[in-house]
Amino acid sequence: MGILDIEVWGKDSKKHEERLGTCKVDISALPLKQANCLELPLDSCLGALLMLVTLTPCAGVSISDLCVCPLADPSERKQITQRYCLRNSLKDMKDVGILQVKVLKAADLLAADFSGKSDPFCLLELGNDRLQTHTVYKNLNPEWNKVFTFPIKDIHDVLEVTVFDEDGDKPPDFLGKVAIPLLSIRDGQPNCYVLKNKDLEQAFKGVIYLEMDLIYNPVKASIRTFTPREKRFVEDSRKLSKKILSRDVDRVKRITMAIWNTMQFLKSCFQWESTLRSTIAFAYHEEEPPLYMKCTLFSGDIGSSL
């Protein structure tokens, strides 16, 4: 409950970073359990930052290194476990539990750059909460070693972990994805997950290593099952697909070549480049009945041929 410092950064195509502006939010002045829409003017630039801030008294989203893992501290783990014990089942019904995810590393990723390397980072999504790791440049076997903490609002949610290749100011390239239902998590066990395609139907290239801990109140989780799911505020925008673009360009090329060849053929018929071809074309043209013999003019109920 203090001052939240915010920095806005820009990055050009050469991966050079520049701080564009800063702003501050007094957290203590905001009401709890209420969506606060804030428009914050940035210092040292003309822009403004539009934010939707909601304060809830629960374990919120956070990012930390492995050395400061929240649930690794026995006293903090005990405190969190007591918060979600059965005797607290009727306190703050929306605070169902907490999920801790250790994103350790990935291996044998797809090479997205012409140099045979990738610049991978990892995006984690649970409901409306989205967090991501830093980017490891020029590496197909990145190690992130980060700890992510998410509040659980619905025990039937699915954690989505997607690996992307950073591509400067262009949309990132997809490198693989896994989807993990919360109810399938086994606490504290490192797992190796095979990356899949965007539809999660086929195996993609590479694997990712995760370790997860889930603590929740079963009574709250059961009650939340009968309430509507939280609306997704962040929708994935449709990005340009290189495969679809390449396919469409190929189609346009084929159609253009077909039209060009047809025009060249018709042109050659009238320029007598081939005597036989031009003779057949003119003979066929002479045998065709004139267009005016096929037209009929109708006036009222009487049809008269032209």
Residues 43 and 181 both lie in one domain: no
Q: Give, for 45, the enclosing helix (H) or strand (E).
A: none
Residues 213 and 247 both lie in one domain: no
Q: Indicate if the pLDDT at residue 174 is higher than 80.
A: yes
Confidence of residue 300 (pLDDT cuts 50, 70, 90): very low
Q: Count the domains in the chain.
A: 3
Residue 63 lies in a domain: yes
For the chain, the average pLDDT equals: 80
Mean pLDDT of 176-180: 94
Residues 215 and 247 both lie in one domain: no
* Residue 78, pLDDT score: 87
Adjacent-strand bridge partners of 211: 102, 190
Which one has a higher pLDDT value, 31 or 164? 164
Q: Indicate if the pLDDT at residue 202 is higher than 70.
A: yes
The CATH number given to whatever domain includes residue 150 is: 2.60.40.150
Beta strands, E only, the chain: 3-11, 17-26, 35-41, 48-54, 62-65, 97-107, 120-126, 129-132, 143-152, 158-167, 170-181, 189-196, 203-216, 296-299, 302-305
Which one has a higher pLDDT value, 302 or 203? 203
Cα→Cα distances 221→7, 33, 60, 230, 296, Å: 36, 19, 17, 14, 77
Mean pLDDT of 272-293: 59
Q: Indicate if the pLDDT at residue 175 is higher than 90.
A: yes
* Residue 228, pLDDT score: 67
Confidence of residue 209 (pLDDT cuts 50, 70, 90): very high
Mean pLDDT of 33-40: 85
Q: Indicate if the pLDDT at residue 11 is higher than 90.
A: no
Q: Indicate if the pLDDT at residue 299 is higher than 80.
A: no
pLDDT over 70 percentage in the chain: 78
* Residue 296, pLDDT score: 45
Mean pLDDT of 111-120: 86
Residues 23 and 68 both lie in one domain: no
Cα→Cα distances 282→248, 274, 293, Å: 38, 12, 19
CA-closest candidate to residue 234, choices 93, 103, 131, 95: 131
Which one has a higher pLDDT value, 29 or 122? 122
Q: Residue 10 is part of which domain span?
A: 1-57
Residues 148 and 258 both lie in one domain: no
**Exposure class string for 137-165: b at 16+ Cβ within 10 A, else e:** eeebebebebbbbbbbbbbebebebbbbb
On whether the CB atoms of residues 195 and 203 are closer than 8 A, the answer is yes
Q: Indicate if the pLDDT at residue 103 is higher than 90.
A: yes
Residues 256 and 137 both lie in one domain: no
Residues 131 and 203 both lie in one domain: yes
Residues 215 and 178 both lie in one domain: yes
Residues 51 and 183 both lie in one domain: no
Residues 174 and 231 both lie in one domain: yes
Q: Indicate if the pLDDT at residue 138 is higher than 80.
A: yes
pLDDT tens digits for range 56-96: 655 567 777 777 777 788 888 888 888 888 888 888 777 88
pLDDT tens digits for range 217-273: 888 888 877 776 666 665 554 455 555 666 677 778 888 888 888 887 777 766 666
